[in-house]
Amino acid sequence: MTNDFKNSKKERIGMSKVNVVFWSQSGNTEAMANAVGEGVKAAGGEANVVYVSDASLDELKSAKAFALGCPAMGAEVLEEGEMEPFVTDLEGFVSGKTIGLFGSYGWGDGQWMRDWVDRMTAAGATVVDGEGVICQDAPDGAATEACKELGKALAAI
Ligand SMILES: Cc1cc2nc3c(=O)[nH]c(=O)nc-3n(C[C@H](O)[C@H](O)[C@H](O)COP(=O)(O)O)c2cc1C
């Protein structure tokens, strides 16, 4: 099958490309991002799992739905060097879009994620399930499954 044919078929059947943008230091949130991507593919979508510094704001601007992942850093905040400025840039155009949020944490109670959900909601976005998918340290089977479900939900939008 040629790529041209695949692409035109994709447009006809409306297969969605879902960007999964993440920041991760020790790999836990990256593992979650890959599981979200697997869920997208399992639902017949195309997944673009990218580290935040490789992500395109323009692609997100034209997307109906996408996923963002970041662990709890600092004191219950997003990572401040790359993810925080990226999310600030997003806030201006996410109104009306659907966003899946996910991330790993260590010793807190998930406050960073509740704050992130509130922030995206205040910017006019709909957060899938009204909450982020979070897990302590590395994702276990249940967390991996929840990430896959998130990917499936985003692919269906
Ligand atoms: C500098 C630093 C700050 C952190 N701050 C928090 C925090 O405020 N709350 C929390 O629950 N975990 C915190 N953690 C733990 C990380 O969220 C946890 O190790 C997570 O699994 C890292 O995800 P990653 O493997 O995707 O980098 C912090 C870790 C580091 C290195």
Task: Please give the average per-residue pLDDT across 19-44, as a whole number.
Answer: 98
Residues with CB under 6 A from ligand 1: 24-30, 71-76, 104-108, 137
Report H helices in the chain.
3-13, 28-42, 57-61, 83-91, 111-122, 141-155
**pLDDT over 90 percentage in the chain:** 90
- Does the pLDDT of residue 12 top 50, yes or no? no
- Phi then psi for 99, rounded to 5 degrees? -125, 135
**What domains appear along the chain, each with residue ranges and CATH number?**
17-155 (3.40.50.360)
Handedness of CA 17, 18, 24, 29 (dihedral sign): negative
Query: Pocket of ligand 1, candidates 52, 70, 73: which has the most ligand atoms within 8 Å of its Cβ, to mutate?
Result: 73
pLDDT 10s digits, 84-104: 999 999 999 999 999 999 999
- Identify how many contiguous H helices and E strands the chain contains and give both numbers: 6, 6
Question: Could you tell me the distance, in angstroms and rounded to a whole number, from the CA of residue 14 to the centre of ligand 1?
Answer: 38
Predicted model pTM: 0.93
Using the mean position of ligand 1's atoms as its centre, give its distance from the Cα of residue 123 in Å. 25
**pLDDT at residue 14, rounded to an integer:** 55
Which residue puts its alpha carbon closest to atom 30 of ligand 1?
Answer: 73
pLDDT beyond 80 at 82: yes
Does residue 15 carry a pLDDT above 80? no
Which long-range CB contacts under 8 A does 145-150 form with residues at least 24 apart?
145/35, 147/32, 147/33, 147/35, 147/36, 147/38, 147/39, 147/102, 148/35, 148/36, 148/38, 148/39, 148/42, 149/39, 150/36, 150/39, 150/67, 150/100, 150/102
